[in-house]
Amino acid sequence: MRIDVVSIFPEYLAALDLSLIGKARRDNLLDLNVHDLRDYTHDRHRKVDDTPYGGGAGMVMKPEPWGEVLNRIATESPATGPLGEKPILIVPAPAGAVFDQAMAYELAEAQHLTFACGRYEGIDERVLEHAAESFDVRPVSIGDYVLNGGEVAVLAMVEAIGRLIPGVIGNPESLVEESHSDGLLEYPVYTKPGSWQGREVPEVLLSGNHAKIARFRRNKQLERTAARRPDLIVELDASTLNRHDRDTLWHNGFALVEGRIVPKDQIAPE
Ligand code: ADE
């Protein structure tokens, strides 16, 4: 996969040289190019922002350098095919669609992703309109809070997407059991020593009984998700739950009513 990132702080993206994503780059699984937006300015001060039309606080990123860098990336894109398919341009912004594991899986299939890191009050809107001629433009948020710019969001997204590219993670099995892969949070994990600070590893994990271990882990997933992310529980497909799952959910505050999972406190009394 090719990834291009445009930023006025290219040093921010140096973290993508480390760990699994850095290794993926060295193994040529990921062709990552970071562009300094200021390299596309033509004035002595390398100015990338200006005051907003209509007034208001803060500064807005000027369109010209963005137009130049995005044109160049679009021209070089391996994803601009004969059928008119467009490469994807992700614009990190708190006003975007929320990034989640399903989006990470979808984007991991792409041949080419470009990330446009805005700063200040954002990028002149005409840049996104112009870019839509060459890119499939997607404003994306990593959560309901405001960062100072898109760089940290790009680090999070590139890591989440990059680890799903075949070959990046040594043991792809580990992707199957992690949080969010089946709509539930991951079960707790333990390693040696079996006893630490007076705390014991749950006995069932030492039993060698694989069915019991699987049930214990599934119960922990359901309990945790019910406590921490009840919004995920009500989204579960009830037809995937067996009798044990329904029983665990009942003991953790959820009931199955007419094929739907609902919090028990929302069931009207007879
Ligand atoms: N830029 C500023 N805040 C952001 C957020 N929450 N997600 C993505 N990009 C952002």
Architecture of domain 2-170: 3-Layer(aba) Sandwich (3.40)
Name the residue ranges covered by the structural domains of the chain.
2-170, 195-266
Q: Is the pLDDT of residue 61 over 90?
A: yes
The pair of three-digit structure tokens given for residue 197, joined into one six-digit string:
């600070």
Closest ligand 1 atom to 118 CA: 1
Annotated binding site: 118, 142-147
Annotated binding site for S-adenosyl-L-methionine: 118, 142-147
- What's the pLDDT score for residue 268? 80
pLDDT tens, residue by residue, 90-143: 999 999 999 999 999 999 999 999 999 998 789 999 999 999 999 999 999 999
The model carries a pTM of 0.92
Pocket lined around ligand 1, Cβ cut-off 6 Å: 92-94, 141-143, 145-147, 150, 153
Cα(230)–Cα(25) distance, rounded to whole angstroms? 38
**What separation in Å is there between the alpha carbon of 117 and the centre of ligand 1?**
9
- Under the banding of pLDDT at 50, 70 and 90, the label for residue 264 is very high
pLDDT tens, residue by residue, 65-96: 999 999 999 999 998 666 668 999 999 999 99
Instruction: Name the residue among 266, 190, 179 with its Cα closest to residue 229.
Output: 179
- What's the pLDDT score for residue 84? 67
Q: Is the pLDDT of residue 189 over 70?
A: yes
**What separation in Å is there between the alpha carbon of 67 and the centre of ligand 1?**
21
Average pLDDT over residues 187-206: 98
**What separation in Å is there between the alpha carbon of 192 and the centre of ligand 1?**
39
pLDDT tens, residue by residue, 220-231: 999 999 999 999
**What separation in Å is there between the alpha carbon of 41 and the centre of ligand 1?**
25
Atom 2 of ligand 1: nearest residue by CA position: 147
CATH number for the region 195-266 comes to 1.10.1270.20
The pick from 142, 144, 145 for probing ligand 1's pocket by mutation, whose C-beta has the most ligand atoms within 8 angstroms, reads 142
Atom 7 of ligand 1: nearest residue by CA position: 141
Closest ligand 1 atom to 148 CA: 2
- What's the pLDDT score for residue 103? 97
Instruction: Name the residue among 91, 95, 97 with its Cα closest to residue 146.
Output: 95
**What separation in Å is there between the alpha carbon of 227 and the centre of ligand 1?**
27
- What's the pLDDT score for residue 177? 77
Across all residues in the chain, what is the average pLDDT?
95
pLDDT tens, residue by residue, 7-58: 999 999 999 999 999 999 999 999 999 999 999 999 999 999 999 999 999 9
pLDDT tens, residue by residue, 154-185: 999 999 999 999 999 988 888 887 888 789 99
Q: Using N-to-C axis directions, what is the helix angle for 151-162 and 19-26, rounded to 10°? A: 70
- What's the pLDDT score for residue 82? 66
